[in-house]
Structure 1
Amino acid sequence: MLSVKEARGKVLSCSVKHKIKKVSLLDSLGLALAENMVSEDFIPAYDNSAMDGFAVKAVDIVGADKNYPIKLKLIKQDLPAGKIPENKLESGYCVQIMTGAPIPEGSDCVVMKEDAIKEGKDVLIFRECKQGENVRYKGEDIKKGDIVIKKGKKIFPGDIGVMASIGRSEILVNFPPTVGILATGSELVEIHEKLETGKVRDSNSYSLSAQIKEAGACSKRYGIVRDDKEILKKKIRETLSDCDILLLTGGVSVGDYDFVKEILDELDAEFVFWRVNQRPGKPMAFLTYKDKFIFALPGNPVSVMVCFELYVRPLIKKIMGDKKLLRDTITARAFYDFKHKEGRTDFIRVKIEKVEDETYFKSTGMQGSGILMSMAEADGLAVFPEEIGNIEKNTEIQVYILKD
């Protein structure tokens, strides 16, 4: 039986095909860039004012201060943002200018309006200004031909602003995979249906859809299929033509496994592994089918969600070109003693608490693989390694963070 590390290694060692697609600028947020972003312009495109104030020659106001203001003649024409200066600025003159307006020829700095007072047709300057002060020069942010964002980088809001500034409205990205969900089991009913004895609402399809959405991928729910080999086989074949990753829930426990295996064998899916030395989620299988991937997940709701976090989410991130494949982890101390059986990796749903300068974790309560509230209330998954037994109070343990 594979360890968690070995199983995840097999998943992530699979060759993936990136889906390159052109999307609108805002739709690229959170995705990985599939091209080098090269600027065809200088940004700013011209020398402009960084402040509201007065464009002057620095040499004209040397020594100016509150006690000895220097008087300059004010040119009538103001320069709001977007207006092109008509005349060259001569010595002894100034022109009122707004933030972003082009610097007129002949001027070399901008005095902030707080450091000057209009007096009729003149302006009194109360502070000297060095050459280049409050001026944003052409190309000081981005030069023509610069690679402003490199291929493979995940796109954040700041990148959106940069791409907008260089005039890009459509972007080539690694497009998210489509992840299909097919729930199996004659005991399952839709969530709007009334429960009867022996029936269970299909919560797994919805929790998985939420996890897929949170991971940045596209989800498709293909409904519920009862335990009928031919119907299930037909449905699996149909869904594989429509998605990049298929998640099957249920039908992989020891008693059910041969049934699912037979179907997948007949479809020529290649088994990479079945069963992982972990709890919850031991009876899971991972398969490849042409350039697609299949995860046969347990039916228990906590097992489904934990397996998604450990194996499906990292594969989604890899297909998307994301460099960060795994959840953030922290080291936290056990708030009290925990029982743990050596020889198996357990993932305990925990709450994180700060006590003075230390970070501690506490159990969310009952840890059965069917206790869905343990996931709803969890801040993270504490990893109890297979090589150690009982966890004593204050023992430092790695915790995967599930919530911001």
Structure 2
Amino acid sequence: MPELMSVEEVVQRVLGQIVRLDAENVVAVDALGRVLAEDVVADADIPPFANSSMDGYALRAADTTGASAEHPVRLNVVADIPAGHVSERAIGAGEAARIMTGAPLPPGADAVVQVELTDAEWTRDDTADLAGSVGIVSAADAGDNVRDAGEDLRQGQAVLRAGTVLRPQDLGVLVSLGRTQVSVVRQPRVAIIATGDELVEAGEPLGPGQIRNSNSAVIAGLVSQNGGIPIRLPIAKDNLDAVRERFAEALAAQPDLIVSTAGVSVGAHDLVRAVIEELGELALWRVNLRPGKPLAYGRVGSVPFFGLPGNPVSTMITFDLFVRPAILKQGGRPLAAPVTTAVVTEDMTFDGRETYMRVTLRQDGDRLVAETTGTQSSGALLSMVLADGLLIVPAGTTHVAAGTELGVRLLRA
């Protein structure tokens, strides 16, 4: 019987055969959550001109020396500058221009005094002629309330790096730079095949001995969650022609990865193994893991293939450990999984395999406490619904005492 392989050894073997996908151009404003395939460099200063950060009066700071509420400095108002308009009128000694937030600073001005520090009275819809003068009641320094050209971004500055997962604020930067298109890593297309005569889809009546096909829905959600595009195929019944047909449909969908559940062990009706060996190549690995010891990996044609166990919890855990990093690498995303540490509350025994226990987490003073969700059966999908994370029991461990601190692979953001 083949020797059991460690989880880390399997992950490294898989990642050694997975490559990042190529790039594609997409509409910049629709690129939320996509991974940049290029560095984005500012081709202009942002903002492109000095502008006011306040509603008030643009002026020369030197003209406000000594200004106070008791002794306001009175300046002649010679221009009105709304946002989106440029004033050609230069501000000279003893002059000011009414200015709105975001409007370009006029020539000659080096500061803005907000309206609250003047004796001016504005209304929201002030369309009356400007007052001939304004009293400044507080002295200003050069640069007050002025946003310089390039304050945000400088021309030639590397703004976003390749590999960045684009957030809303990143989209704002792209638009500020006038980008309508952006180069991103193509999203992995993942074909999903569930096998078994016992499976029926939601909405279909259950016959004797049948269950719902929850695995396809779970895997599709996990694929989407990790930046991929799920392609759900109909259930493959337990006969060679049906399994061949499903894998032919999978290849026709031009996926970057194929994932199946069940049918890759040594049972009399485990037919996926035979079909994969017809269409490509298959490696059956026994992983030192609980739950989820049997794992198939190979290629269908030129497409990487994972054959996962059929029990729902085993499906989810083997996906998280092995398929997830493959999808992330294809999509150019960071591979690290969110991990913390927590203290267990009870004595536990194990069989020596690397074990992933479903646990809830709670804060107890300065420590995080892990408690099991109840049954650890690999068929109990509710245990994953309840879990905040997977408690990682290292290989070779047969006993863990209450109070021991162990790693936890987080399942909730």
- Structure 1-normalised TM-score? 0.95
Displacement of 1:239 after TM fit?
0.6
User: Which residue, 274, 286, 289 being the options, matches 1:262?
Assistant: 274
Supply the AA of the counterpart residue of 2:366. Answer: D
Moved segments of 4+, more than 6 Å: none
> Equivalents in 1 of 2:381, 2:270: separation in Å?
27
Whether the 8 Å CA contact 1:347–1:384 is kept in 2: the answer is yes
| Counterpart pick for 1:182 among 175, 190, 193 | 193
| Among 326, 332, 336, the residue aligned to 1:326 | 336
Give the match's secondary structure for 2:280.
coil
Q: 1:53 aligns with which of 51, 56, 62?
A: 56
Match of 1:246 in 2: 258
* 2:311 paired with 1:305: no
Which is worse superposed, 4-13 or 135-144? 135-144
Distance 1:18 1:361 in 2: 38
The alpha-carbon deviation at position 62 of structure 1 amounts to 1.5
Q: Does 1:98 align with 2:109?
A: no
Distance 1:17 1:327 in 2: 18
Report the CA distance shift for 1:72/1:263 in structure 2 as closer, same or farther (over 3 A): same
Cα deviation for residue 268 of structure 1 reads 2.1
Distance 2:280 2:227 in 1: 29
Q: Comparing 378-387 with 238-247, which one deviates more in the overlay?
A: 238-247
**CA offsets 1:332-366 (integer angstroms, 9 cap, x no match):** 11022222222x01111110111122101111110
Distance 2:108 2:60 in 1: 7
Gaps of 5+ in 2: 122-130
Are the aligned partners of 2:273 and 2:282 in contact in 1 as well (CA < 8 Å)?
A: no
Note the 1:365-384 alignment, pairs <5 A. Answer: 365-384=374-393
Distance 1:300 1:354 in 2: 31
Query: Which shifted more, 260-269 or 206-215?
Result: 260-269
Find the aligned partners of 1:155 and 1:290 in 2 and give their Cα distance: 33
Aligned partners of 1:17 and 1:291 also within 8 Å: no
| 2:392–2:408 Cα contact (<8 Å) kept | yes
- CA deviations 1:295-339 (Å, max 9, x no partner) are 1011111111111111111111111111x2132110111022222
For residue 50 of structure 1, report the CA deviation from its aligned partner: 1.2
Please point out which of 220, 228, 245 is paired with 2:231: 220
1:83 Cα deviation from its structure 2 partner:
0.7
Shift of 1:210: 1.1
Give distance in 1, aligned partners of 2:225 and 2:30: 15
- Deviation (angstroms), 1:170: 1.3
Corresponding residue to 1:2 among 5, 30, 38: 5
Kindly indicate whether the alpha-carbon contact (under 8 Å) linking 2:262 and 2:270 is maintained by their aligned counterparts in 1. Answer: no
The whole-number CA distance in structure 1 between the counterparts of 2:222 and 2:272 is 24
Match for residue 338 of structure 1 among 348, 351, 355? 348
* Among 362, 387, 400, the residue aligned to 1:353: 362
Q: Distance in 1 between matches of 2:401 and 2:70?
A: 73
User: In structure 1, what is the Cα distance between the partners aligned to 2:269 and 2:285?
Assistant: 9
Task: Verify the 8 A CA contact 2:199 2:235 in the aligned structure 1.
Answer: yes
Q: CA–CA distance in 2 between the matches of 1:382 and 1:127? A: 62
Q: Give the superposed CA RMSD.
A: 1.7
Amino acid at match of 2:95: Y
Pairing 1:4-403 to 2, within 5 Å after superposition: 4-75=7-78, 77-118=79-120, 120-242=131-253, 243-255=255-267, 259-271=271-283, 273-289=284-300, 291-322=302-333, 324-342=334-352, 344-403=353-412
Whole-Å separation in 2 of the counterparts to 1:32 and 1:97: 41
How much does 1:207 deviate?
0.9
Q: Are the counterparts in 2 of residues 284 and 297 from structure 1 also a CA contact under 8 Å?
A: yes
Distance, in Å, in 2 between the alignment partners of 1:290 and 1:37 is 36
Percent identity reads 38
The two structures have a TM-score, normalised by structure 2, of 0.93
Quote the offset at 1:144 in angstroms.
2.3
Relative to 1, partners in 2 of residues 1:319 and 1:232: Cα closer, same or farther, differing over 3 Å? same
Deviations 1:6-62 (A, max 9, x none): 111111122414131111123322221112212222211111111111101011012
Q: What secondary structure is seen at the aligned counterpart in 1 of 2:276? A: helix
Maintained 8 Å contact 1:60/1:92 = yes
Using the alignment, how far apart are the partners of 2:53 and 2:17 within structure 1?
51
Q: Which amino acid counterpart does residue 262 of structure 1 have in structure 2?
A: A
Q: Deviations over 1:228-275 (max 9, x none)?
A: 11321232133123211111111123325874322211112243x522
Moved more, 383-392 or 161-170: 383-392
* Structure 1 counterpart SS, 2:341: strand
* Structure 2 counterpart SS, 1:362: strand
Call closer, same or farther: CA 1:157–1:256 in 2, change over 3 Å: farther
Q: Give how far 1:209 is off.
A: 1.0
Answer yes or no: is the 8 Å Cα contact 1:55–1:94 preserved in 2.
Answer: yes
**Quick check: 2:88–2:107 contact (8 Å CA) kept in 1?**
no
SS at match of 2:400: coil
Say which is worse superposed, 97-106 or 206-215, in terms of deviation: 206-215
What CA distance in whole angstroms lies between the structure 2 residues aligned with 1:116 and 1:335?
66
Distance in 1 between the 2:179 and 2:282 partners?
42
The 1:238–1:345 alpha-carbon spacing in structure 2 relative to 1, beyond 3 Å, is: same
Q: Report how many aligned residue pairs link the two structures.
A: 400
Tell me the amino acid that sits aligned with residue 72 of structure 2.
Answer: P
